[in-house]
Amino acid sequence: MQKISPCLWFDQQAEDAAQLYLTIFPNSRINKISRYAEGGRMPKGLAMMVDFTLDGVDFLALNGGPMFKQSEAVSFSIRCKTQAEVDHYWNSLTANGGAESMCGWLKDKFGVSWQVVPDVLPEMATGSDPAKVARMTEAMLKMKKLDIATLVNAYNG
């Protein structure tokens, strides 16, 4: 078990969110669900806590009510080796009510923020040639979903 796990606060969509994420990320599962009892803060039977794993990373999701909302101040970065991976995560997480943002950022239909990041991006962004980094950054700033070939071509001039 990992020592630190993110806990996502939802109004009443924790189980739905976990179920969606299981369809997107490989090697994922629901570990345990606790449910509200009669007389609880939420309707009887609604998931209270969902303990789940996405591709080896443990998460908790809490149905705690409408007082707190998701924010871009916290996002989850998905590292991708190929453009096919970038496309899969981007398309899956923006589907059915998700929203595209800039530079590889998006929100899923539950308002959770994600960054879909090609593995080559951090390498290029920290490259030793400022002109290459500037060209790549300029190309990235024009994108929503990141395109690996375009970023690499810009970097290489």
Q: What pLDDT digit, counting tens, does each position of 113-126 carry?
A: 999 999 999 999 99
List of the chain residues with pLDDT < 70: none
Residue 35, strand partner residues: 47
Number of C-beta neighbours around residue 111 at 10 A:
18
DSSP 39: T
Q: Where are the domains of the chain?
A: 1-66, 70-157
- Of 3.40.640.10, 1.25.50.20, 3.10.180.10, 3.40.50.1360, the CATH number of 70-157 is 3.10.180.10
- Token pair for residue 19? 């179920």
Q: Provide the total of helices (H) and of strands (E) in the chain, helices listed first.
A: 5, 8
Q: What is the CATH number of domain 1-66?
A: 3.10.180.10
Is-same-fold flag (1-66; 70-157)? yes
Which of 92, 21, 98 is CA-nearest to residue 60?
21
What pLDDT does residue 32 have? 98
